[in-house]
Structure 1
């Protein structure tokens, strides 16, 4: 582009004298043209210098051109980048280093760059040693042309995959043509971090632990590092992870103490442990669970991001009793006699009891109507369903009694497994209730 007088330079004119000037021979003359500076990024401009009206001399070339090279190019910043060693598909992959321009430029920019080895080794994929990256350009030979109008540009080279567990490695990308007047350098270096992806497999298994009756038992999760086939495999670098407990059927604050934290398995070690405190009780209840969630795993590949802890209830079930009942017979109609079933203590499980009536000194069909069924005691209370039977007879009789009996074999079974009456014989003035079967519901 042609420079504009008064904007890009100051126009000058005059007469130059050469030859014998009072005994001094002058063979050349320097003529200065003032250049007017600005801060505008623009293309290089030209100024024509013309000589004319020669006296005692012939003109071989009357016009020459001077170039005003712009020095207001954008500032370039290289940005650091981290990249996994492999994408799991290709033996090598391309890393991109972003070169950011502070402003767009109306002209193309030649950018020289190079890759300086750090802990990462440079090489060719065909070489015998184990290279980490491959870069073909060196020094000023690594030239890139940033097109006019671009606000960013990406420098690229290959990362080479391997199957070796190693520390993360680095190389540094640098700008080499630092003397260019086409741009300035805001940050001419960028670290490329090559993240190893050949670390061990991290495994956390489900566990079971007894609840206990007192104190604070511990649920211990073991975090193992393996080769993916069950064999222990240590890492050459620290393996870290974040963890937190999550309530399931077990309640935080009642069954276990919620917790979270970070676990570090030091380089060379193959396992670590995470401990969670349990809260003991003496209540018979269902087995309960909570989970351990894992996140932010570094330097290992998790096989699963959660594990389940099952808190095994180890408390004896309560005993169950049927209480005595009595009822005045009456002279007509029917009346209901109610038997009450009572648990010895709170239960964390629903309980069901099968019952049936049979006569003692009272006669079924004459003094009472036989009945049978199942009484359900919901989870929690210690007194529940009342068992009723219709009783009544309009004749005068003496006081009649019935017994509530359990066979000894059933009695032993239910004491051990489900709970039973404290007293195998209960007297009633109305009817006898035989507890044929008792069962605990599980959820």
Structure 2
């Protein structure tokens, strides 16, 4: 009987083990993010980002029209940032097998002034939002729901009535009444998620008001309370909230046509408890606008200041930290718990999870300040955007609270927020608005109209 030489069998075993190990290592490489950021003059934190079995070489970047050596150099195999721009790195397994190309954005050092101010957020939405159904009492005493019966759903946004764009509830009601008085149906242009629909609704005359209606409650604007994260007094740019403003019914990212921020005053705190997030109780202080709302993104709202802000804890710029400069340990947040006074409170950063960029959650934080725990019970609604500082750098902003433990929550990295501005000169792609995981709650919310 034929017997294979032992050496062949052993080589086969070795080859199988090698393949298994290679596949496992390649899987680890695939988990490396495709995009990295580093400040000019610094090394990319090589071993913190790439496994020890991975080597890198500069790769051509056709999209940039350059190979990138003047942007990112290699010193003893480690990438060193030279000047602002984008370069590509080709990753090799054991220095031999090409497995992945990653982009490295070299960014100029940027300093901003940390905020902490409570702000009122006044949004100007496109169209009006359906927030409820309202029965119409007809002359015979029968209740009618024309809009509901025609297929209008809660959360739908009415963009136009009979071909005319609408932006207020009064305007919408007037167009419906005129259509009914003229014996015409109400033709609605409706946005539902990413769809735009056309619905025809027969109006009914309300015996109580004497007007024609289609039986629904609508809201023409949104407002809420949050916290300003940082601003640049030279360019008059600001960032706030740290997450997108979402529609209170659909939880989709609100389609914002513009808006304003104003100063808000905190008049009370409803402390948070396990299973019940707390909230700041506040009102808009004064009638002077602080700035415009130009963009609503997964990393917060952004705009331009129209006035100088009142003094806070920091009245001078501080450096913005990159993700590799943030670490677990003590930190502080800036926020308002009474009136309009910004105060600093102690926290601990329990985890840095820079790979969670798509969800906008790069930090896990825990409130440790004894006074803040007594006053608020932890993280409460209205704290979204509260800046997080560590070792003299702005590292992030508060965004979410853990419903089952209000002393803990998520934060967004300041680097991600800054990339949404023009202060770096680099933009991140629009990631859309992602849902909240079970057990978490958005801090800021749209107040019911």
> Larger Cα Rg: Structure 1 or Structure 2?
1
TM-score range, shorter chain: under 0.3
* TM-score after normalising by structure 1: 0.27
Higher RCO (CA 8 Å, separation ≥ 6 residues): 2
